[in-house]
Amino acid sequence: MDRGLILAIFSIISGWALILLSLLVIKVLILSTREGSFFYSLMEVGMSFLTLISFLFIWYRLLRYLFLRTKVGDSGPGGT
């Protein structure tokens, strides 16, 4: 197993964790806001999207950083 394959598997597991984490945050948001009001429902949706986008941004930056390190890094040849 080489570092490229490990990075690819990491991208899948971290992407999956990102989805679950976003949903967990949404659940907390739903539980903490009042039910029944259209304004609150709209806020929930807006907050959910903001959460997802911010997590996505952090995830992409991390993946790109690791990718560049693996690609042009000087930590030895590929392979574990």
Partner 1 sequence: MRPFLFFSYWQYVIKMHLAVIVLMASILGLLFSEIFHRRIIPRLISRNYLSEDVHKPDKPRIPEPVGPAVSLAFIVSTIVLAPLVKDPILLMGIAASSGISSMIGLLDDISPLGAKSKPLLLTLPAFVMMATGGLIPRPILPILGRARLYYVYWPLLMAMYTVFSNSVNMMDALNGMLPLSVFGATIPLIPVILMTGRDEALISLVLLLSVMFPYYLRNKYPARVFGGDSNSLFIGATLAGISASSNTEAFFSISLLPFIVSGFSLIVSVGGLVERREIAKRPVVVKDGMIRANPDRAAPMSMIAILTSSKPKREPEIVMEVALISLFSGILSCLTFFLLTPR
**Where on the chain is the footprint of partner 1 (CB under 8 A)?**
2-5, 7-9, 11-13, 15-16, 19-20, 23-24, 26-27, 30, 45, 56, 60, 63-64, 67-68, 70-72, 77-79
Residues 6+ apart with CB under 8 A from 34: 40
* Residue 66 · residue 7 · CB < 8 Å: yes
CB of 13 to partner 1, least distance (A): 8
* Residue 69 · residue 7 · CB < 8 Å: no
CB of 47 to partner 1, least distance (A): 13
- Residue with Cβ nearer partner 1 (34 or 72): 72
